[in-house]
Structure 1
Amino acid sequence: MPKQVIVQSSIEAVEIIDTPIPTPQHDQIVIKVIVSGTNPKDWKYPVWTGNPQNSGDDIAGIIHSVGKDVYEFKPGDRVGALHEFFTPDGSFAEYAVTRDYATFHLPPHVSFEEAATVPLAALTAAIALYADMKLPPPYYPVKSLAEGGERIPLLIYGVTSAVGAFAAKLARLSGLSPIIGISGRAGDYAKTLVDYVVDYRNGEDELVAAVEEVLAKEGLGNKIHYVLDAISENGSLEATLRFLAPEGTVSTVLPTKLFARDKENFKWPSSTKSFNSAIPLVFSTHKDFGYLWSRYIARMLEDGRLKGHPYEVIPGGLNGVLTGLQNLKNGKASAVKYVYRIEDTKNVPNQGVTGKLGTEEQESKDQPAEKAHPLRNFPFSS
């Protein structure tokens, strides 16, 4: 019987269980997973919610079956897809479930490994830049100065993270300039993405001074009007507050009220437009956006304008999921996405606790609801 991984809330064990092949409903698609990608949220969500779960969301594979309302895809198609958050049958499995509007065809030259780095990060970057900050998209790029246009600078905090890197790639296609990237040990990769790289490891004062120096050099004053914070914790929010123009626009990937150092008192200026560009919105208020951009991403992958994120294959297929998540938790990944080739799973042993996982009964045993991380029920803004 097919198998899937249930990640324990301790991130010290997983359980690999037998699971029947899902039956797709309405607009759902069941995908035979060839490669699953991994994101930081894949270890964070089981911890924050206290709920053991198959937390994988980046899918690359071959369609097994489709729901009755699906008309753009058929069994046998090579696809990439984003799994719907907090629902069963995630990507850490032999078979995963997604929605048709969060699925895209894979061009023949795009490998499953590359495709598995794309869905969550690229769609998050697109939501931040184009749905929330309303910056010019690649199909209506900024006119050059010679064409009578104007420069639109962008700063990306965490530019070598997958979200940050895709944001930089899309911003280039949009004609934004200059693009400033804040990075750390992956500075060499950052230089391939942006016009200026600033190292956060020198401390907040040095970071702010370096950003202001770049802006002054470019004749842009000392504050920037558009910032995407692809980190949104560990001090990035507080640093951003210092170089963001009061009337500027900022997008974060995590809610400030939960991840600022001073959660009770942190706030942006009243004149600032701020957004929590949360990818779960693709399955609620941003379904049309997800539909359009999934297809546009496929087009840009096909013609080479967009490429996936650097990746590292973790050996062992489903057996390697725990290793990848622990590496992410311990900060070992730098400018790389961990991916798992599912076919590498051989004679999978049970690697964790037994019992009925994901039920309210089990959840209450693992962690009482009142003690769960507030993100569990956080009302993501639209």
Structure 2
Amino acid sequence: MKEAIVSKGPKVEIIDSPIPKPGPDQVLIKVNVSGSNPKDWKLPLWIGSTLNQGDDIAGIVDQVGENVYEFKPGDRVAAFHEMTTPHGSYAEYAIAWQHTTFHIPKHTSFEEAAALPLAAMTSALGLYLRLGLPQPWVPATEPIPLVIYGAASAVGSYAIQLAQKSNIHPLICVAGRSSAHVEKLIDRSKGDVILDYREGGDALVENLKKAADGRPLLYAFDAVSEKGSYLNLSKVLAKGAKITLVLPLKDYSEIPEYIEHYLTNVGAAHKDAKDFGYVFFRYLARGLHEGWFKPQPQEVVPGGLGGVQQALENLMNGKANAVKYVFRISDTEGVS
């Protein structure tokens, strides 16, 4: 099979590899569409890894391992591949654990499904496990101001949708060029607002204070976690507030001690938060079916795996605005 290997640069090499076999509790998926994430170029840079970095899978179950009870060959599924392990989604076939695999509703395309797994799980983990906010089945009954920084990103956009389902308002969303995308997701009637970070840090801090309207800001989801984002938030969050961040291997010591800060590592869905991952992937599938949860807009990159190089360069250079780059594996040269 064809497989794309990503190294520092980013540099992408397409190689021929054996089709993997699923182990116990694993599913082998014939990948129709793979999604991409910023970590796909960042991890090779940060830790020097050379690996198939794809983690967002959408396709057809080909084989199931021992103990797999929920899936069978032929099922349409999406899955979150375990990060930094072999057999990722930049290939004709990929491996996923059954607890991070979920059925795709009939009306959801493979392209849409490939835009979901890693980013959507990051949003759910951040909101509910790290910030401790009310979950959708026990929604908030009183106002809870929540700042979402990077609201137009996939993580931010999914956080908005989940917060809506949890009746968390007002949502104070920080965005830039893609504010129009955020506008489609918020509810102005419940006090939700959009603030433009491009006006500068000082202006943003003042606008955050105005948006709070005298209420203490106790929760922030920083889906950017760089370029001054958490420093701006630190200037407005109240004593005892919680902020969750998404970038690992960073020094967050500049956040004041009176603010509790947590790293949302989506890899927890394969470790200490396995039960959470199992439940929420199935809940998100229900949200797709019912229509209240929608995938981030997708851009299909030409050339299948041959387009991974350009897509990762675009992500590195900040060219992806309110969009998920996805790859149709069948478009790859040499794939029948």
TM-score, length of structure 1 as denominator length: 0.84
Q: How many residues align?
A: 330
Tell me the equivalent position of 1:329.
Answer: 316
Q: Does 1:211 align with 2:208?
A: yes
Q: Does 1:233 align with 2:220?
A: no
Q: Check whether the contact 2:9–2:41 (CA below 8 A) recurs between aligned residues.
A: no
Question: Please, what is the CA RMSD of the aligned residues?
Answer: 1.2
Q: Check whether the contact 2:140–2:166 (CA below 8 A) recurs between aligned residues.
A: yes
Which secondary structure does the structure 2 equivalent of 1:258 belong to?
A: coil
Q: Check whether the contact 2:145–2:212 (CA below 8 A) recurs between aligned residues.
A: no
| Structure 2 Cα separation of the partners of residues 192 and 305 of structure 1 | 12
In the TM superposition, what whole-angstrom CA distance separates every residue of 1:190-221 from its partner, at most 9, and x where no partner exists?
Answer: 222232111111111000001111111xxx43
1:274 aligned to 241, 254, 261, which one?
261
Query: Following superposition of structure 1 onto structure 2, how do residues 299-338 of structure 1 map, counting pairs within 5 Å?
Result: 299-338=286-325
Offset at residue 97 of structure 1 (A): 0.6
Unmatched 5+ stretches in structure 1 = 144-149, 349-382
The residue type paired with residue 16 of structure 1 is: I
Offset at residue 302 of structure 1 (A): 1.0
The residue type paired with residue 9 of structure 1 is: K
The residue type paired with residue 172 of structure 1 is: Q
The residue type paired with residue 314 of structure 1 is: V
In the TM superposition, what whole-angstrom CA distance separates every residue of 1:151-209 from its partner, at most 9, and x where no partner exists?
Answer: 11111000001000000000011101110110111111122223211111111100000
Tell me the equivalent position of 1:200.
Answer: 197
Q: Does 1:245 align with 2:232?
A: no
Tell me the equivalent position of 1:171.
Answer: 163
In the TM superposition, what whole-angstrom CA distance separates every residue of 1:17-64 from its partner, at most 9, and x where no partner exists?
Answer: 111111110011110000000111111111111121111100000011
Offset at residue 259 of structure 1 (A): 4.9
| Structure 2 Cα separation of the partners of residues 225 and 76 of structure 1 | 46
| Structure 1 Cα separation of the partners of residues 117 and 314 of structure 2 | 21
In the TM superposition, what whole-angstrom CA distance separates every residue of 1:264-290 from its partner, at most 9, and x where no partner exists?
Answer: x423324x3321111011111111111
| Structure 1 Cα separation of the partners of residues 70 and 334 of structure 2 | 36
The residue type paired with residue 224 of structure 2 is: I
Q: Check whether the contact 2:205–2:236 (CA below 8 A) recurs between aligned residues.
A: yes
| Structure 2 Cα separation of the partners of residues 42 and 105 of structure 1 | 24
| Structure 2 Cα separation of the partners of residues 14 and 250 of structure 1 | 35
Offset at residue 253 of structure 1 (A): 0.8
| Structure 2 Cα separation of the partners of residues 50 and 241 of structure 1 | 32
Tell me the equivalent position of 2:58.
Answer: 60
Tell me the equivalent position of 2:129.
Answer: 131
The residue type paired with residue 250 of structure 2 is: L
| Structure 1 Cα separation of the partners of residues 93 and 315 of structure 2 | 24
Tell me the equivalent position of 1:69.
Answer: 67
Tell me the equivalent position of 2:189.
Answer: none
Q: Check whether the contact 1:225–1:244 (CA below 8 A) recurs between aligned residues.
A: yes
The structure 1 segments of at least 4 consecutive aligned residues displaced by more than 4 Å after TM superposition are none
TM-score, length of structure 2 as denominator length: 0.96
Tell me the equivalent position of 1:191.
Answer: 183
Q: Check whether the contact 1:268–1:274 (CA below 8 A) recurs between aligned residues.
A: no
Unmatched 5+ stretches in structure 2 = 187-191
| Structure 2 Cα separation of the partners of residues 267 and 190 of structure 1 | 27
Which secondary structure does the structure 1 equivalent of 2:321 belong to?
A: coil
Q: Check whether the contact 2:78–2:104 (CA below 8 A) recurs between aligned residues.
A: yes
The residue type paired with residue 201 of structure 1 is: R
Which secondary structure does the structure 2 equivalent of 1:89 belong to?
A: coil
1:28 aligned to 22, 26, 29, which one?
26
Offset at residue 132 of structure 1 (A): 1.6
Identity %: 49
| Structure 1 Cα separation of the partners of residues 247 and 315 of structure 2 | 17
In the TM superposition, what whole-angstrom CA distance separates every residue of 1:94-119 from its partner, at most 9, and x where no partner exists?
Answer: 00111000010001000000000110
| Structure 2 Cα separation of the partners of residues 186 and 274 of structure 1 | 27
| Structure 2 Cα separation of the partners of residues 193 and 330 of structure 1 | 26
Which secondary structure does the structure 1 equivalent of 2:218 belong to?
A: strand
The residue type paired with residue 199 of structure 1 is: D
The residue type paired with residue 154 of structure 2 is: A
The residue type paired with residue 296 of structure 1 is: Y
Offset at residue 15 of structure 1 (A): 1.2
Tell me the equivalent position of 1:117.
Answer: 115
